[in-house]
Structure 1
Amino acid sequence: MAEFGLPDPSAGLAGGSTDVAFIRLPSATHGLAITPLFTEPCVVGVSAAHPMSRRERVRVADLLDEPIAIGRTDDGVWRDFWTLAGHRPGKRARNVVETHSQREEGEVVAAGMACSVTPAAARRHSPHPGVRFITIGDHPGSVVAVAHRSGGTNPLVASFVDSAVVVRDRETQILHTIEGAPEAG
């Protein structure tokens, strides 16, 4: 088992250092076989002192002029999704703060240097007293998938993927909670 940081959204698959991985989409997936497991809503992390911090919900349009923190990566698909590039036809985010880790990203947000578009799981797994997570009502969710390199799949990889699908199909209540029920944050 290995954990990969923000610079490698493929979790080692692209470079061949892993055989199978849980990844978050969208990201560059050329040469990978992907099995979607669930889609998680996106939130924006803002400083507790930010004017939006009192809101329960925002729209992408509310965020387009905000500086955005993003993990440093060469994966343009990943970067475009989390910097809201699809909502800025022909324009890039005007101020992007690149970070090396989720912890660093949280500190940048808490300091008021940028906001961070992130999966809703950040509310549970990356709480910070200086950060408020707000639901983004009109940005597509991020898919969590199990992935492996395309081509001749080894039996252990196939078994791992099959097991992930069995758990996904069995745990419908958990998936319903992840995919649809916004949390207080």
Structure 2
Amino acid sequence: MDINPRTLRYFLAVAEERHFRRAAERLYITSPALSQQIRQLESSLGVELFRRTSRSVDLTAHGIELMSLARAAVDANDAIVAWAENSTPSRARLRVGFMSTAAGDLTQRILQAARTQPLRLDIELHHLDWADQTRAVLDSRVDASFVREPATVEGLRFTTVLAEDRVAMLPSAHPLAHEDSIQFSDIADERFMPSATGTPEWVDYWLVNPRPDGRPILRGPAISSVEEMLENCAGGRGIAITAESVSKFYAHPQVRFVTVRDLSPNHVLLAVRNDDTREAVKNLEQLVSEIATSA
């Protein structure tokens, strides 16, 4: 049998994190996709690697034995890749910023394509908070960044990556939590959690402020991360509007996501500085545009 080094990386991430969602975030894939890869690995090997319960993920005896072998295989693969890279012309290194879900399901496709011929870009990822998504590009902490609307900033140019629905994050006990979709008016009187960081335009966009009918907004606790949003929502302290990919990359047993069908889609964009004319940056923009068009 042949075992792909990528699958072994997936195994090691789960083994180290002991948590499928955290491992999936680290790998920039969805939790269901990661679970499927692990099940396929177990099927190929004919052994159970993890003991799963509703509260924990633990390694079996076979899983413990595989860890050292998997690490050796991954390290050997990395050494071969490094040898090949050192034997060919150097890569152009770009620092790319991202927030919670980066470019969604296209993230790994973009990163993998950037590494291959003819581009041979070395992408160095940097996590940014909501307030830094464009500022980090402007002050040159990163060369480019995957950002979300609203992000109109003077001095930057943008390439559209994808559009996705906006969804309501609701506690699982909410009367509308199990609907396929809702109207915004169905939840307009709820208590909404505002962003604690970001521009006023950013905060208002996710609060849907001003409301179409002019009604006042009830505000819950201010939040600065998806994790804070999830826990406060689960505890009934407020609801939120967020992007559809958050429902794929994050999960909480007491939180549900419901499409809000009358809100306009949110767009993920690649932002770079207007005055950055480097070939590597232009190549990244072209790659993102091509992948976005074909997706």
> Does the C-alpha gap of structure 1 residues 11 and 109 become closer, same or farther in structure 2, counting only changes over 3 Å?
farther
Show structure 1 runs of 4+ deviating over 4 A.
88-92
The count of corresponding residues between Structure 1 and Structure 2 is: 171
* TM-score where L is the length of structure 2: 0.54
Relative contact order, higher structure (CA 8 A, sep 6+): 1
For structure 2, which runs of at least 5 residues remain unmatched after alignment? 1-124
Amino acid at match of 2:133: P
CA gap of 1:19–1:90, structure 2 versus 1, over 3 A, is: farther
Identical counterparts, % of pairs: 23
Q: What is the TM-score of this pair, normalised by structure 1?
A: 0.83
Match for residue 58 of structure 1 among 177, 182, 190: 182
Give the conservation status (yes or no) of the 8 Å contact 2:170–2:239. Answer: yes
Quick one: which amino acid aligns to residue 35 of structure 1? T
**Deviation of residue 166 (structure 1)?**
1.9
Instruction: Decide whether the 8 Å contact of 1:48 with 1:110 is kept in 2.
Output: yes
Partner SS for 2:148 = strand
State whether residues 133 and 146 of structure 2, in contact with CA within 8 Å, keep that contact through their aligned partners in structure 1: no
- CA deviations on 1:44-94 (whole Å, 9 max, x unpaired) are 010011122132211111222111123322312211110011435666522
Which residue does 2:242 correspond to in 1?
118
Describe the shift of the 1:21–1:125 C-alpha distance in structure 2 as closer, same or farther (beyond 3 A): same
Q: Is the 8 A contact 2:137 2:143 kept in 1?
A: yes
Indicate how the Cα distance of structure 1 residues 105 and 154 shifts in structure 2: closer, same or farther if over 3 A, else same: same
Q: Quote the RMSD (CA, aligned, Å).
A: 1.9
Query: How far off is 1:14 after superposition?
Result: 3.8
Letter in 1 for 2:149: L
CA distance in 2: counterparts of 1:147 and 1:34, whole angstroms = 5
Q: 2:194 aligns with which of 37, 52, 70?
A: 70
Mark the CA change 1:94 to 1:2 in structure 2 (over 3 Å): closer, same or farther.
Answer: same
Secondary structure of 1:45's counterpart equals strand
Name whichever structure is richer in strand by fraction: 1
Distance 1:98 1:7 in 2: 14
The answer to which of 2-11 and 125-134 deviates more is: 2-11
Q: Which has the larger radius of gyration?
A: 2
How much does 1:145 deviate?
0.9
Unmatched segments (≥5 aa) in structure 1: 173-185
Q: CA deviation at 1:159?
A: 1.3
